[in-house]
Amino acid sequence: MKDKITDSEFREILLRRSNGVIDFPQFLDELSQRGIIEYEIEVATGQATYKGAYSEFKTDSQVNLMISEDFNRNKVLEAITNISLPFLDFLQEIAEAGIITYRVYIKEKKIIYLGIKGEEIEEQLKI
């Protein structure tokens, strides 16, 4: 059994999302319909790993950010609230707040942000 997505279909969905053709809820819906169940973003590089039950797709690195050694919960929450920021600006904000990675659980509609010293913040998506 395989997930219902090819590399070219995956790249097409990413392109449509980055060009603003589809919004975040549509993006998650399209990934979910094709068998992608979660993805993780490495904040320092912006590299994403998308996972299905039987497949995995990685994006290229997009940035080279320094992660703050001081976790700042309030700054993370502020960045999450201001989610309309462009993606790379969002990464910069949470890097400055000490977040090293975050994982999006598509079916559960939640995101777990992980801090530099193991701190966690869970966000329930309102979509």
Residue 6, pLDDT score = 86
Residue 67, pLDDT score = 97
CA distance 79 to 70: 16
Residue 2, pLDDT score = 64
CA distance 53 to 35: 7
Kindly report the pTM of this predicted structure. 0.90
Give per-residue pLDDT as tens, 87-113.
888 999 999 999 999 999 999 999 999
Give per-residue pLDDT as tens, 12-33.
999 898 888 988 889 999 999 9
CA distance 72 to 94: 9
